[in-house]
Structure 1
C-alpha cells in the first residue's frame, strides 16, 4: 500500500465532511483527514489479507 492511496482517502474524507457541513471548522476537517487516512490503510490491509487467504485455500 502506498502513501498515495492513503492521501487520496484523506482528501476524499475531507471533501465528504465539507459536503455534509459547509461550515466545517479546521478541527472537523483534520479529524476527517485522519479517519480517511487510517480507514484507507485498514481497508487495503483487509483486502490484501483476504487475497492471501484465497491463495492459501487454492493451494
Structure 2
C-alpha cells in the first residue's frame, strides 16, 4: 500500500467528518469518530472495488 492510497482513505475520513459537522454543528466527538471510521472504510471499499474491476477487465 502506497502513500497515495493511504492519503485517499484519510481524505475520505476527513470529508465524512466535515459532512457530519455540516449536518449537525453540535455533533459529539463519538459521532465525529464514527464518521471518520466510516469515511476511511468507505474509501477503502471503493478502492478495493475499483482494483477488482480493473483485474476483471484485463
**TM norm. shorter chain > 0.5:** yes
CA distance in 2, matches of 1:36, 1:15: 10
Q: Which stretches of structure 1, 4 residues or longer, exceed 4 Å deviation after superposition? A: none
What is the deviation of 1:3?
Answer: 1.0
- Residues 1:15 and 2:18 aligned together: yes
Pairs aligned (count): 55
Gaps of 5+ in 2: none
1:37 aligns with 2:40: yes
Say what the alpha-carbon RMSD is for the aligned residues. Answer: 0.9
Q: TM-score, normalised by structure 2?
A: 0.90
Q: 1:27 aligns with which of 26, 30, 44?
A: 30
What's the TM-score once normalised by structure 1's chain length?
0.88
